Amino acid sequence: MVIRCQFANTPNMIAYHDEEWGQDKPSSQEVFEALCLESMQAGLSWAIILKKRPALRSAFADFDMEALAKFDETDVHRLMLDEGIIRHHQKIQAMINNAQCALAIEEDTHFPSFRDFIYQTAYQLVAEFSGNEDEINKALMKLLKKRGFKFVGPTTIESFLETIGVYNHHEPQCAFI
């Protein structure tokens, strides 16, 4: 029997734990999706997000930043009627806004991609703050908010950095540590 982190207690959570959580994301789209899903989770359980993820992917153009950045109020209205997703007006608007901000990073910085920006910045902050996760979370949150991102509080950032493998928060007994 494989020992996992305690949260991996349903088939969806086991698959997520074993195949995705804490693993490097090779593309900007995957990093952006992780950020969007963590932002959508605010106030909800991760099990709900995983259950709704197929509908969220469909509704948000598979988290393609260029496509999502073009969404307008007509799209927001359509999404607010979609019972398969999280129908939170501010979160929906934040996903569109954040796609625009992520694209701006790719256009306005020396980083070749949003993915590279996130990973290089996060690892720089890990070194700068000697692994102090509270300070890292706050610093990345401030940086993203300064660039216009929304729904990126310190708890969301912590979960995001876990998801993309910057932090290893597997429990000590977990076989995936």
User: What residues form the annotated binding site?
Assistant: 5, 17, 170, 174
Candidates 20, 46, 106, 135; catalytic one:
46
Helices 154-163, 28-41: axis angle to 10 degrees equals 140
37, 56 in Cβ contact below 8 A?
yes
Candidates 21, 33, 38, 158; catalytic one:
38
HSE-CB at 145 with a 13 A cutoff on CA atoms is 12
17, 54 in Cβ contact below 8 A?
no
CB contact set of 78 (below 8 Å; sequence gap of 6+): none
Distances (CA, A) of 144 to 54, 100, 105: 26, 12, 10
Candidates 16, 21, 119, 167; catalytic one:
16
CA dist 84 and 91 (Å) reads: 15
Output the known binding site for Zn(2+): 5, 17, 170, 174
Please say if 16 is a catalytic residue. Answer: yes
Please say if 83 is a catalytic residue. Answer: no
CA dist 79 and 114 (Å) reads: 25
Catalytic residue numbers? Answer: 16, 38, 46
